[in-house]
Structure 1
Amino acid sequence: MGSYINQHVLNNLFYILVSVFVFYFIYDHGEIFKKQTSYRNTLLAICMGFPIILCMKFPIYIDERCIHDLRQIPFLVGTLYGGGIVGIILFLILLASRTLIYGFEYITAVVYTTMFIIAALVSPTFKALKRSSKLSMSVWLTLFLAVLTTFLAIIITQFQVTDSYIVYFILLPPIGMLFVVYTMETLKEAIIMRSKLVKVEKMEVVSQLAASISHEIRNPLTVVKGFIQLLKTPSLSQDAKDRYIQIALDEINRAEAIINEYLTFAKPASNKVERLMVDDQLRKVIQMLAPMAHMHSVEIVEQLQPAAIVGNIQYFQQCFLNLIKNSVEAMPNGGTLTISSFLHGNHVIITIKDTGVGMTTEQMNRFGEPYFSTKEKGTGLGTMVAVKMIQTMQGTLHIQSEVNKGTTLTITFPKAAN
């Protein structure tokens, strides 16, 4: 049989396999094909129609009485996976192409009508099977149809069966069908697994956020509960009551801030975008944080050049409030915070450089995770919100840091068109 596996056989298989890859490539990148079965079946009919035409145009073997090729593989694959409607389309493509290329042949119509009817009837059962059962069924069905249609051809036209016919029409198609169905099932499972992985990752983020939020809110609520119980003490002085009430209010405010940060991350990004001047917005943020910087003995140095980007002003301000606030808090004993912005080609680059405690490599890798914070009472939500906002505005964040020497954040945004 080795002598029969020639270049033409490989070409036919190549046409079929490439069409399968094209189908799944388009299917994977088009949501409409996943949502609408009619669109998916149309795509399948087109992708299986092309190899039918190519297999006939460039056949394996031609003699005076018979043409051999592997057209039945894409025909059966399309019918089994797409059902009767796809099968009818492929049947019409096959007959039209056969007539245009070689002329109409009655026995061809009989053979592929038989294949179509049986494959269409079997299709619902086939699609419900697991992969291993599909592989087995596709091989035996192809072999059965080849033998059945051969007997029909012998009965109707007294067709003479040759060795090459047995190889190309009866033995090779089941083997080719095995490879094609295996490839289709593997690609299909890969797409499904990736979709499941995305869902698992989303659930992981939700579970992390939920655990982080519940943990962080429980702490201030416990404090509030304790001080409210202390307020019931009969002999408590008015000064102590005022102090306890203030502590309780501070803890409630802290819980509110945590919830607000979580909601900012969870809610969808605003569609409102506009041209904003980076230097002006950074000056506003610096003014907001100036009292806090003064309390921490931090000197803020501005090196801001005029530059424009397209984004959401509210999110831009919130993003840099979080980042600059973190940098200030990273210098508990005071220091210098240098904030700069400048144009570099088609990008606007913003740097936030502090002389604080710095971060280890592990801390830099975990920057922006909901569970992780370098601060004793931090939730990590502030940096997570900032990272999300940067990504929303098509920006990138790069971190350079050294323990006890400081951290430099470099944020790059696309420059706004003039």
Structure 2
Amino acid sequence: MDFIFINQNVLNDLFYILVSIFVYYFLIDHVSLFQKYRHYRQLLMVVCLSVPLILCMRFPIYIAPNCVHDLRQLPFIIGTLYGGWTVGLPLLMILLIVRFVFYGYNYITVVIYITMLIVCAIYSRTFNQFNRSQKLVMAPMITFFLAILSTIIAVVISDFQVTDTYIIDFIIVPTIAILFLIYIIELLSEAMMMRTKLIKVEKMEIVSQLAASISHEVRNPLTVVQGFMQLLKSPNLSKEIKDQYIHIALEELNRAKLIIDDYLTFAKPAPEKVETIDVDRELKKVVDIVRPLANMNSITISPDVHSGCTIGSIQYFQQCFLNLVKNAVEAMPNGGELTILSYLIDDHIVIKIKDTGIGMTPEQISRYGEPYFSTKEKGTGLGTMVALKIIQTMNGTLEIDSAVNKGTTLTITLPLKEE
């Protein structure tokens, strides 16, 4: 009579075990109770591994007319190695009860699996301290040792006949199979750990970006205040000019306060306070704020703005264009000309900010707006990121036309307010 070494029942048993492992890690990943409490994870391991253990016995492997076996030892060994006595003892009780229900009492089964439990449970603590490579070496060695030991016990006690098929299916196959099962278990476990670490790193990165961005945004009005305070030292200033400088400085300090108060709500899809923005008036304010910085760098500002209104937050609008205009000024360290235009096209307002500065390469254009990417030596890129977010919040678009040493033109298109 011919027998197939690796028959369908062997593959079925391996399938049961593999599915139980995936179910276990799926539940660990999606149920917080199992993530928090170790004893619940151990209980889940007992439940998940008892299912393939029972199925392996229910659908055994027939290797000879009077020889029936299965791969129940694999989930039993895996559970005991990873869970120790806490998991191994319940699995042993389930195994023996189901075995006796299906096939009746057999003292050889009791002796063999008690031996397996003792060996695996004693070795469990050491096994769990190994890294993945060490586990992949030791698990097959333990399985092979237990298979040989079980065969010796069966032969000594009951004069068991060892056939070629038995050697293949119950000594060699389990030894190889547990190598792949342990590899999958370790892979899933490491993937979950890496994802947990990644989430923590992302949270820290968000906090870091938020802190750096707030610092960046507050620095802008403080720089303006510093500039006007220095101008106030000039002895020949008239009272009217001094009052104007003090008024602008106080406005910038108030803007810094508003940035600190409102920045945490900035990431919302739309600002809570929606109002009509007079584009030409707000752009002129931005020009007035930046003009002292431009004068210090020998930069001429040529505004040509036309009336038009859009919808959004005035504070965010000023914050956005102050960032963009300030970046344009800083892109001309040797002086130049900054042109700010606004005009209407159909139902949109178009705003152009054009400088004659150092320009950008295609790669820099593609990364425009990324956090921590900047063409400036000490830049963080967060100001540009905030500006882009504000434009998106206002349902606008931004286009860049730039060439190295030829300057950059930013074209911002915003929806026109309906009358």
> CA offset at residue 136 of structure 1?
0.6
Corresponding residue to 1:289 among 253, 272, 276: 276
The equivalences for 1:83-122 within 5 A come to 83-122=84-123
Give 1:85's aligned amino acid: T
- Is residue 2:62 matched to residue 1:61? yes
- Per the normalisation by structure 2, the TM-score is 0.69
1:220 aligns with 221
Assess if the C-alpha contact under 8 Å between 2:342 and 2:349 holds in 1: no
1:371–1:178 CA distance, 2 compared to 1 (3 A): closer
Q: What do residues 83-139 of structure 1 show as CA deviations (whole Å, max 9, x unaligned)?
A: 211111211221122112111211111111111111111111111110000111101
2:153 aligns with 152
Give 1:256's aligned amino acid: K
What percent identity do the matched residue pairs reach?
48
Q: Which has the larger radius of gyration?
A: 2
> CA offset at residue 179 of structure 1?
0.9
2:335 aligns with none
Give 2:151's aligned amino acid: T
Q: What do residues 258-277 of structure 1 show as CA deviations (whole Å, max 9, x unaligned)?
A: 323432258xx8xxxxxxxx
Give 1:38's aligned amino acid: H
Assess if the C-alpha contact under 8 Å between 1:23 and 1:43 holds in 2: yes
Give 1:125's aligned amino acid: T
> CA offset at residue 15 of structure 1?
1.1
Q: What do residues 140-183 of structure 1 show as CA deviations (whole Å, max 9, x unaligned)?
A: 01111112222222333333333222222222111111010011
1:102–1:324 CA distance, 2 compared to 1 (3 A): farther
1:398–1:179 CA distance, 2 compared to 1 (3 A): farther
- Is residue 2:167 matched to residue 1:162? no
Assess if the C-alpha contact under 8 Å between 2:397 and 2:414 holds in 1: yes
Assess if the C-alpha contact under 8 Å between 2:279 and 2:308 holds in 1: no
- Is residue 2:386 matched to residue 1:381? yes
1:19 aligns with 20
Give 1:289's aligned amino acid: T
Q: What do residues 342-398 of structure 1 show as CA deviations (whole Å, max 9, x unaligned)?
A: xxxxxxxxxxx655559xx9999989866699xx995543764898x99xxxxxx99
Alpha carbon RMSD of aligned pairs, Å? 4.4
> CA offset at residue 30 of structure 1?
1.9
SS in 2 for 1:83: helix
- Is residue 2:342 matched to residue 1:333? yes
1:217–1:236 CA distance, 2 compared to 1 (3 A): same
- Is residue 2:52 matched to residue 1:51? yes
1:412 aligns with none
1:208 aligns with 209
> CA offset at residue 193 of structure 1?
2.0
* Whole-angstrom distance in 2 between the partners of 1:48 and 1:248: 71
1:138 aligns with 139
Assess if the C-alpha contact under 8 Å between 1:79 and 1:87 holds in 2: yes
1:80 aligns with 81
Greater shift after overlay, 251-260 or 107-116?
A: 251-260
Q: What do residues 275-308 of structure 1 show as CA deviations (whole Å, max 9, x unaligned)?
A: xxx9xx99x83xx325567767554599xxxxxx
Q: What do residues 204-238 of structure 1 show as CA deviations (whole Å, max 9, x unaligned)?
A: 33333333332332333234345445556677654
Give 1:381's aligned amino acid: V
* Whole-angstrom distance in 1 between the partners of 2:243 and 2:310: 39
1:167–1:211 CA distance, 2 compared to 1 (3 A): same
1:156–1:171 CA distance, 2 compared to 1 (3 A): same
1:110–1:133 CA distance, 2 compared to 1 (3 A): same
SS in 2 for 1:289: strand
1:182 aligns with 183
SS in 2 for 1:70: coil
1:406–1:165 CA distance, 2 compared to 1 (3 A): same
Give 1:81's aligned amino acid: Y
Assess if the C-alpha contact under 8 Å between 2:279 and 2:310 holds in 1: no
* Whole-angstrom distance in 1 between the partners of 2:346 and 2:37: 55
SS in 1 for 2:342: coil
Assess if the C-alpha contact under 8 Å between 1:371 and 1:380 holds in 2: no
Give 1:209's aligned amino acid: L
Assess if the C-alpha contact under 8 Å between 2:213 and 2:382 holds in 1: no
* Whole-angstrom distance in 2 between the partners of 1:324 and 1:221: 15
* Whole-angstrom distance in 2 between the partners of 1:238 and 1:408: 39
> CA offset at residue 184 of structure 1?
0.8
SS in 1 for 2:184: helix
Give 2:276's aligned amino acid: L
Greater shift after overlay, 232-241 or 21-30?
A: 232-241
1:70–1:407 CA distance, 2 compared to 1 (3 A): farther
2:7 aligns with 6
The equivalences for 1:122-133 within 5 A come to 122-133=123-134
SS in 2 for 1:333: strand
1:368–1:24 CA distance, 2 compared to 1 (3 A): farther
Give 1:335's aligned amino acid: L
SS in 1 for 2:18: helix
1:145–1:195 CA distance, 2 compared to 1 (3 A): same
Which runs of 5 or more structure 2 residues have no equivalent in the other structure? Answer: 283-304, 326-339, 354-361, 375-380, 402-409
> CA offset at residue 251 of structure 1?
2.4
SS in 2 for 1:80: helix
Give 2:87's aligned amino acid: V
* Whole-angstrom distance in 1 between the partners of 2:45 and 2:414: 52
